[in-house]
Protein backbone atom coordinates (compact mmCIF):
# COMPACT_ATOMS: atom_id res chain seq x y z
CA UNK A 1 0.00 0.00 0.00
CA UNK A 2 1.20 3.52 -0.77
CA UNK A 3 0.81 4.65 2.85
CA UNK A 4 3.04 1.80 4.07
CA UNK A 5 5.78 2.82 1.64
CA UNK A 6 5.56 6.46 2.75
CA UNK A 7 5.82 5.36 6.41
CA UNK A 8 8.81 3.15 5.50
CA UNK A 9 10.57 6.07 3.80
CA UNK A 10 9.93 8.25 6.87
CA UNK A 11 11.25 5.52 9.21
CA UNK A 12 14.46 5.13 7.24
CA UNK A 13 15.28 8.81 6.61
CA UNK A 14 13.13 10.92 8.95
CA UNK A 15 10.23 13.25 8.07
CA UNK A 16 9.88 13.93 4.33
CA UNK A 17 9.22 17.27 2.63
CA UNK A 18 5.60 17.89 1.65
CA UNK A 19 6.84 18.07 -1.96
CA UNK A 20 8.20 14.52 -1.67
CA UNK A 21 4.91 13.43 -0.09
CA UNK A 22 2.94 15.00 -2.97
CA UNK A 23 5.21 13.41 -5.57
CA UNK A 24 4.47 9.96 -4.12
CA UNK A 25 0.77 10.57 -3.40
CA UNK A 26 0.04 11.90 -6.90
CA UNK A 27 2.56 10.31 -9.24
CA UNK A 28 4.04 7.12 -7.73
CA UNK A 29 3.69 4.41 -10.41
CA UNK A 30 2.59 1.93 -7.74
CA UNK A 31 -0.44 3.82 -6.41
CA UNK A 32 -0.19 7.57 -7.10
CA UNK A 33 -3.51 9.34 -7.67
CA UNK A 34 -2.74 10.40 -11.25
CA UNK A 35 -0.45 7.45 -12.06
CA UNK A 36 -3.08 4.81 -11.39
CA UNK A 37 -6.83 4.41 -11.61
CA UNK A 38 -9.21 6.02 -14.04
CA UNK A 39 -9.21 9.44 -15.69
CA UNK A 40 -9.55 12.03 -12.94
CA UNK A 41 -10.55 15.18 -14.82
CA UNK A 42 -14.01 14.50 -16.21
CA UNK A 43 -17.62 14.44 -15.11
CA UNK A 44 -17.27 10.93 -13.67
CA UNK A 45 -14.03 11.89 -11.89
CA UNK A 46 -13.18 14.19 -9.01
CA UNK A 47 -13.03 17.65 -10.58
CA UNK A 48 -14.23 19.44 -13.70
CA UNK A 49 -11.96 21.75 -15.65
CA UNK A 50 -12.70 24.42 -18.29
CA UNK A 51 -12.15 22.10 -21.30
CA UNK A 52 -14.66 19.66 -19.78
CA UNK A 53 -17.20 22.44 -19.28
CA UNK A 54 -17.21 23.38 -22.94
CA UNK A 55 -15.38 22.99 -26.28
CA UNK A 56 -15.68 26.79 -26.54
CA UNK A 57 -12.67 26.98 -24.20
CA UNK A 58 -10.48 25.23 -26.80
CA UNK A 59 -12.16 27.08 -29.69
CA UNK A 60 -11.30 30.42 -28.06
CA UNK A 61 -7.70 29.36 -27.38
CA UNK A 62 -7.48 28.31 -31.05
CA UNK A 63 -7.91 31.99 -32.05
CA UNK A 64 -4.96 32.88 -29.81
CA UNK A 65 -2.95 30.03 -31.34
CA UNK A 66 -3.79 31.19 -34.89
CA UNK A 67 -2.60 34.69 -34.02
CA UNK A 68 0.67 33.31 -32.66
CA UNK A 69 1.17 31.32 -35.87
CA UNK A 70 0.60 34.55 -37.80
CA UNK A 71 3.24 36.24 -35.62
CA UNK A 72 6.01 33.61 -35.70
CA UNK A 73 5.23 31.69 -38.93
CA UNK A 74 5.99 28.02 -39.62
CA UNK A 75 7.18 25.48 -38.59
CA UNK A 76 4.59 25.66 -35.83
CA UNK A 77 3.26 23.00 -33.44
CA UNK A 78 0.70 22.83 -30.66
CA UNK A 79 1.78 21.10 -27.47
CA UNK A 80 -0.45 20.36 -24.52
CA UNK A 81 1.16 19.60 -21.18
CA UNK A 82 -0.93 17.55 -18.72
CA UNK A 83 -3.77 17.26 -21.22
CA UNK A 84 -6.10 15.10 -19.10
CA UNK A 85 -8.92 13.73 -21.27
CA UNK A 86 -7.72 15.43 -24.49
CA UNK A 87 -10.86 17.62 -24.66
CA UNK A 88 -8.90 20.87 -24.90
CA UNK A 89 -6.55 19.64 -27.62
CA UNK A 90 -9.50 18.16 -29.59
CA UNK A 91 -11.51 21.40 -29.53
CA UNK A 92 -8.44 23.51 -30.23
CA UNK A 93 -7.32 21.48 -33.27
CA UNK A 94 -10.87 21.27 -34.65
CA UNK A 95 -11.05 25.08 -34.64
CA UNK A 96 -7.55 25.66 -36.04
CA UNK A 97 -7.44 26.12 -39.80
CA UNK A 98 -5.10 24.83 -41.14
CA UNK A 99 -4.39 22.27 -38.41
CA UNK A 100 -0.95 22.12 -36.82
CA UNK A 101 1.12 19.10 -35.75
CA UNK A 102 0.10 18.31 -32.19
CA UNK A 103 1.97 16.78 -29.25
CA UNK A 104 0.93 15.89 -25.72
CA UNK A 105 2.96 15.27 -22.58
CA UNK A 106 1.06 13.52 -19.76
CA UNK A 107 2.23 11.78 -16.61
CA UNK A 108 -1.01 9.82 -16.15
CA UNK A 109 -1.49 6.54 -18.06
CA UNK A 110 -5.30 6.86 -17.96
CA UNK A 111 -5.05 10.39 -19.37
CA UNK A 112 -2.60 9.23 -22.06
CA UNK A 113 -5.11 6.58 -23.15
CA UNK A 114 -7.90 9.15 -23.25
CA UNK A 115 -5.79 11.59 -25.30
CA UNK A 116 -4.89 8.80 -27.78
CA UNK A 117 -8.57 7.99 -28.24
CA UNK A 118 -9.79 11.60 -28.39
CA UNK A 119 -6.94 13.11 -30.42
CA UNK A 120 -5.47 10.19 -32.38
CA UNK A 121 -3.42 12.54 -34.57
CA UNK A 122 -1.51 13.91 -31.55
CA UNK A 123 1.81 12.31 -30.73
CA UNK A 124 2.25 11.50 -27.05
CA UNK A 125 5.83 12.19 -26.02
CA UNK A 126 7.65 11.60 -22.71
CA UNK A 127 9.15 15.04 -22.54
CA UNK A 128 9.35 18.17 -24.58
CA UNK A 129 12.39 19.22 -26.62
CA UNK A 130 12.84 22.50 -28.53
CA UNK A 131 9.55 23.75 -29.93
CA UNK A 132 8.19 26.55 -32.15
CA UNK A 133 4.49 27.11 -31.59
CA UNK A 134 2.18 27.22 -28.60
CA UNK A 135 2.47 25.20 -25.39
CA UNK A 136 -0.72 25.06 -23.30
CA UNK A 137 -1.02 23.87 -19.69
CA UNK A 138 -4.45 24.14 -18.08
CA UNK A 139 -4.62 23.28 -14.36
CA UNK A 140 -1.23 21.57 -14.29
CA UNK A 141 0.86 23.89 -12.10
CA UNK A 142 -1.55 23.50 -9.14
CA UNK A 143 -0.74 19.77 -8.99
CA UNK A 144 3.02 20.21 -8.92
CA UNK A 145 4.69 19.07 -5.69
CA UNK A 146 5.42 21.95 -3.28
CA UNK A 147 7.14 22.24 0.10
CA UNK A 148 5.38 23.91 3.05
CA UNK A 149 6.72 26.57 5.39
CA UNK A 150 5.16 28.34 8.34
CA UNK A 151 6.02 31.84 9.57
CA UNK A 152 7.25 31.94 13.22
CA UNK A 153 8.35 35.47 14.12
CA UNK A 154 10.94 36.49 11.57
CA UNK A 155 11.77 32.90 10.65
CA UNK A 156 10.45 30.17 8.40
CA UNK A 157 10.02 26.61 9.64
CA UNK A 158 9.47 23.82 7.16
CA UNK A 159 6.48 21.54 7.63
CA UNK A 160 7.49 18.00 6.81
CA UNK A 161 5.45 14.82 6.90
CA UNK A 162 6.13 12.44 9.81
CA UNK A 163 4.49 9.16 10.87
CA UNK A 164 2.75 8.50 14.20
CA UNK A 165 0.67 5.57 15.44
CA UNK A 166 -2.46 7.41 14.42
CA UNK A 167 -1.28 8.28 10.92
CA UNK A 168 0.70 10.94 9.06
CA UNK A 169 1.16 14.38 10.62
CA UNK A 170 2.98 17.61 9.78
CA UNK A 171 5.95 18.51 11.97
CA UNK A 172 7.98 21.74 12.01
CA UNK A 173 11.64 21.29 11.12
CA UNK A 174 14.68 23.33 10.02
CA UNK A 175 13.93 24.54 6.48
CA UNK A 176 16.01 23.67 3.41
CA UNK A 177 18.03 26.65 2.13
CA UNK A 178 16.36 26.80 -1.33
CA UNK A 179 12.96 26.68 0.36
CA UNK A 180 13.87 29.71 2.49
CA UNK A 181 15.15 31.63 -0.56
CA UNK A 182 11.87 31.03 -2.40
CA UNK A 183 9.73 31.91 0.65
CA UNK A 184 11.66 35.15 1.25
CA UNK A 185 11.19 36.15 -2.39
CA UNK A 186 7.62 35.06 -3.10
CA UNK A 187 5.65 34.45 0.09
CA UNK A 188 4.16 37.96 0.15
CA UNK A 189 2.65 39.37 3.35
CA UNK A 190 2.12 36.44 5.75
CA UNK A 191 0.51 36.58 9.20
CA UNK A 192 2.25 34.99 12.21
CA UNK A 193 1.71 31.21 11.98
CA UNK A 194 0.60 31.48 8.34
CA UNK A 195 1.46 28.63 5.96
CA UNK A 196 2.93 29.10 2.50
CA UNK A 197 3.25 26.57 -0.30
CA UNK A 198 6.76 26.84 -1.70
CA UNK A 199 6.27 26.12 -5.39
CA UNK A 200 9.87 25.49 -6.39
CA UNK A 201 9.08 22.68 -8.81
CA UNK A 202 6.48 24.74 -10.68
CA UNK A 203 9.05 27.55 -11.09
CA UNK A 204 11.72 25.18 -12.41
CA UNK A 205 9.17 23.63 -14.80
CA UNK A 206 8.11 27.05 -16.16
CA UNK A 207 11.73 28.19 -16.59
CA UNK A 208 12.70 24.99 -18.36
CA UNK A 209 9.73 25.08 -20.77
CA UNK A 210 10.20 28.76 -21.63
CA UNK A 211 13.80 27.88 -22.47
CA UNK A 212 12.62 25.09 -24.78
CA UNK A 213 10.30 27.50 -26.59
CA UNK A 214 12.21 28.84 -29.60
CA UNK A 215 9.42 31.13 -30.84
CA UNK A 216 5.73 31.38 -29.99
CA UNK A 217 3.98 31.30 -26.64
CA UNK A 218 3.29 29.26 -23.55
CA UNK A 219 -0.15 29.61 -22.00
CA UNK A 220 -0.45 28.75 -18.31
CA UNK A 221 -3.96 28.71 -16.88
CA UNK A 222 -4.84 27.93 -13.28
CA UNK A 223 -6.39 29.04 -10.02
CA UNK A 224 -4.33 31.23 -7.72
CA UNK A 225 -3.19 34.82 -7.74
CA UNK A 226 -0.23 37.13 -7.18
CA UNK A 227 1.60 36.79 -3.83
CA UNK A 228 -0.03 39.97 -2.45
CA UNK A 229 -3.53 38.85 -3.40
CA UNK A 230 -3.05 35.45 -1.81
CA UNK A 231 -2.54 37.16 1.57
CA UNK A 232 -6.11 36.69 2.80
CA UNK A 233 -5.92 32.93 2.06
CA UNK A 234 -2.75 32.54 4.05
CA UNK A 235 -3.57 31.72 7.63
CA UNK A 236 -3.98 28.02 6.87
CA UNK A 237 -2.41 27.93 3.43
CA UNK A 238 -4.28 26.77 0.34
CA UNK A 239 -3.47 23.04 0.09
CA UNK A 240 -6.65 21.02 -0.37
CA UNK A 241 -8.10 17.90 -1.98
CA UNK A 242 -11.08 17.34 -4.25
CA UNK A 243 -13.28 14.29 -4.43
CA UNK A 244 -16.40 13.85 -6.56
CA UNK A 245 -16.44 17.59 -7.30
CA UNK A 246 -16.35 18.65 -3.61
CA UNK A 247 -13.57 19.44 -1.17
CA UNK A 248 -12.13 16.10 -0.01
CA UNK A 249 -10.34 14.80 3.10
CA UNK A 250 -7.17 16.15 4.72
CA UNK A 251 -4.29 15.84 2.19
CA UNK A 252 -2.38 13.49 4.53
CA UNK A 253 -5.34 11.21 5.21
CA UNK A 254 -5.51 9.02 2.10
CA UNK A 255 -2.40 9.34 -0.07
CA UNK A 256 -3.08 8.06 -3.58
CA UNK A 257 -6.84 8.27 -3.20
CA UNK A 258 -7.30 12.03 -3.64
CA UNK A 259 -6.12 14.89 -5.75
CA UNK A 260 -3.82 17.29 -3.85
CA UNK A 261 -3.82 20.86 -5.10
CA UNK A 262 -3.12 24.45 -4.10
CA UNK A 263 -3.49 28.01 -5.33
CA UNK A 264 -0.70 28.87 -7.74
CA UNK A 265 1.54 31.75 -6.66
CA UNK A 266 1.59 33.60 -9.97
CA UNK A 267 4.21 36.12 -8.83
CA UNK A 268 6.67 33.21 -8.81
CA UNK A 269 5.39 31.89 -12.15
CA UNK A 270 5.74 35.29 -13.82
CA UNK A 271 9.26 35.74 -12.37
CA UNK A 272 10.33 32.29 -13.60
CA UNK A 273 9.05 33.00 -17.12
CA UNK A 274 10.74 36.42 -17.19
CA UNK A 275 14.01 34.99 -15.82
CA UNK A 276 13.96 32.54 -18.76
CA UNK A 277 13.58 35.37 -21.28
CA UNK A 278 9.84 35.51 -22.05
CA UNK A 279 7.72 38.62 -22.44
CA UNK A 280 4.91 38.04 -19.96
CA UNK A 281 1.25 39.06 -19.77
CA UNK A 282 -0.70 38.18 -16.59
CA UNK A 283 -4.50 38.40 -16.72
CA UNK A 284 -7.78 36.89 -15.59
CA UNK A 285 -9.36 33.99 -17.51
CA UNK A 286 -12.53 36.00 -18.25
CA UNK A 287 -10.44 38.87 -19.67
CA UNK A 288 -8.29 36.51 -21.71
CA UNK A 289 -11.28 34.64 -23.16
CA UNK A 290 -13.09 37.88 -23.94
CA UNK A 291 -9.98 39.28 -25.64
CA UNK A 292 -10.05 36.22 -27.92
CA UNK A 293 -13.72 36.45 -28.78
CA UNK A 294 -15.74 34.46 -26.22
CA UNK A 295 -17.78 37.50 -25.13
CA UNK A 296 -18.84 38.11 -28.74
CA UNK A 297 -19.61 34.41 -29.17
CA UNK A 298 -21.81 34.56 -26.05
CA UNK A 299 -23.68 37.61 -27.34
CA UNK A 300 -24.31 35.83 -30.68
CA UNK A 301 -25.53 32.69 -28.88
CA UNK A 302 -27.95 34.74 -26.74
CA UNK A 303 -29.30 36.35 -29.91
CA UNK A 304 -29.70 32.89 -31.54
CA UNK A 305 -31.69 31.68 -28.49
CA UNK A 306 -34.16 34.54 -28.98
CA UNK A 307 -34.46 33.84 -32.72
CA UNK A 308 -34.97 30.08 -32.13
CA UNK A 309 -37.68 30.86 -29.54
CA UNK A 310 -39.38 33.29 -31.91
CA UNK A 311 -39.34 30.67 -34.71
CA UNK A 312 -40.68 27.94 -32.41
CA UNK A 313 -37.55 25.75 -32.81
CA UNK A 314 -37.71 24.36 -29.27
CA UNK A 315 -34.90 21.77 -29.54
CA UNK A 316 -32.53 24.34 -31.09
CA UNK A 317 -33.49 26.80 -28.40
CA UNK A 318 -32.63 24.26 -25.66
CA UNK A 319 -29.29 23.36 -27.26
CA UNK A 320 -28.37 27.01 -27.70
CA UNK A 321 -29.36 27.76 -24.10
CA UNK A 322 -26.94 25.02 -22.94
CA UNK A 323 -24.16 26.64 -24.94
CA UNK A 324 -24.99 30.00 -23.38
CA UNK A 325 -24.67 28.40 -19.93
CA UNK A 326 -21.32 26.86 -20.92
CA UNK A 327 -19.90 30.21 -22.05
CA UNK A 328 -21.26 31.95 -18.94
CA UNK A 329 -19.61 29.28 -16.78
CA UNK A 330 -16.21 29.80 -18.44
CA UNK A 331 -16.52 33.55 -17.90
CA UNK A 332 -18.10 33.57 -14.42
CA UNK A 333 -16.25 36.28 -12.47
CA UNK A 334 -16.29 34.31 -9.19
CA UNK A 335 -15.77 30.91 -10.82
CA UNK A 336 -13.65 29.89 -13.80
CA UNK A 337 -13.45 33.51 -14.99
CA UNK A 338 -11.50 34.27 -11.81
CA UNK A 339 -8.72 31.84 -12.84
CA UNK A 340 -5.46 33.42 -13.98
CA UNK A 341 -3.70 33.21 -17.33
CA UNK A 342 -0.02 33.78 -17.93
CA UNK A 343 0.99 34.32 -21.54
CA UNK A 344 4.74 33.84 -22.02
CA UNK A 345 5.87 35.03 -25.47
CA UNK A 346 9.15 34.61 -27.28
C1 LIG B 1 -5.92 18.74 -12.94
S2 LIG B 1 -5.48 17.73 -14.25
C3 LIG B 1 -5.87 18.79 -15.62
C4 LIG B 1 -6.08 18.04 -16.89
C5 LIG B 1 -6.40 18.92 -18.11
N6 LIG B 1 -5.35 19.86 -18.39
C7 LIG B 1 -7.71 19.66 -17.93
O8 LIG B 1 -7.69 20.89 -17.89
O9 LIG B 1 -8.75 18.99 -17.86
C10 LIG B 1 -3.71 17.80 -14.19
C11 LIG B 1 -3.04 16.86 -15.18
O12 LIG B 1 -1.67 17.24 -15.30
C13 LIG B 1 -0.88 16.05 -15.38
N14 LIG B 1 0.48 16.46 -14.99
C15 LIG B 1 0.90 16.93 -13.80
N16 LIG B 1 2.20 17.26 -13.84
C17 LIG B 1 2.61 17.02 -15.09
C18 LIG B 1 3.86 17.15 -15.77
N19 LIG B 1 4.95 17.62 -15.14
N20 LIG B 1 3.93 16.81 -17.07
C21 LIG B 1 2.83 16.34 -17.72
N22 LIG B 1 1.63 16.17 -17.13
C23 LIG B 1 1.52 16.50 -15.84
C24 LIG B 1 -1.57 15.09 -14.46
O25 LIG B 1 -1.24 13.76 -14.76
C26 LIG B 1 -3.04 15.41 -14.74
O27 LIG B 1 -3.57 14.63 -15.77
Strands annotated E in 53-202: 77-81, 102-105, 123-124, 131-138, 147-152, 155-164, 167-173, 195-198
Confidence check: pLDDT of 143 > 70:
yes
Calculate mean pLDDT across residues 216-236. 89
CB 188 within 8 A of CB 228: yes
Q: What is the DSSP string of 232-246?
A: GG-SS-S-B-EETTE
Calculate mean pLDDT across residues 304-323. 98
Confidence check: pLDDT of 260 > 70:
yes
Q: Which of 137, 140, 199 to mutate to test the pocket of ligand 1 (most atoms within 8 A of CB)?
A: 140
Q: Which of 143, 218, 256, 262 to mutate to test the pocket of ligand 1 (most atoms within 8 A of CB)?
A: 143
Percentage of the chain surpassing pLDDT 90?
Answer: 88
C-alpha gyration radius of the chain = 21
Q: Which of 299, 252, 303, 270 is nearest to 186 (CA)?
A: 270
Express each pLDDT in 300-311 by its tens digit.
999 999 999 999
Give, using CA atoms, the residue closest to atom 24 of ligand 1: 82
- Among the ranges given (42-46, 48-52, 125-129), the one the predictor scored with the smallest mean pLDDT: 42-46
pTM of this structure? 0.96
Domain residue limits, the chain:
2-30+147-198, 50-144+201-229+244-286+337-345, 289-331
Give, using CA atoms, the residue closest to atom 14 of ligand 1: 82
Q: Which of 155, 195, 204, 153 is nearest to 175 (CA)?
A: 155
Report pLDDT for 41: 67
Confidence check: pLDDT of 236 > 90:
no
Q: Which of 22, 35, 61, 84 to mutate to test the pocket of ligand 1 (most atoms within 8 A of CB)?
A: 84
Yes or no: domain 50-144+201-229+244-286+337-345 corresponds to CATH 3.40.50.12710: yes
Residues in contact with ligand 1 by the CB-under-6-Å rule are: 34, 41, 49, 51-52, 81-84, 88, 105-108, 111, 138-140, 143-144
Express each pLDDT in 148-202 by its tens digit.
999 999 999 999 999 998 899 999 999 999 999 999 999 988 889 999 999 999 9
Report pLDDT for 234: 62
Report pLDDT for 317: 98
Q: How far apart are CA 148 and CA 161, in angstroms?
A: 10
Amino acid sequence: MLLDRIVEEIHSGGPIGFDRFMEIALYDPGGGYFATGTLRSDRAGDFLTSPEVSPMFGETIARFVAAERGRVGVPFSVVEMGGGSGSLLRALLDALDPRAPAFAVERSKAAQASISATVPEAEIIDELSDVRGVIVANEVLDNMPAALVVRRGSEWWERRVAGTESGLVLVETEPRPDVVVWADRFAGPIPEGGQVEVQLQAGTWVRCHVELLQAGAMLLIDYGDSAENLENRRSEGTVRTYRKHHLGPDPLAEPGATDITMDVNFSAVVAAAEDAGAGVEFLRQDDFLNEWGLGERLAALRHDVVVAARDGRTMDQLKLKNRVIEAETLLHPRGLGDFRVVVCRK
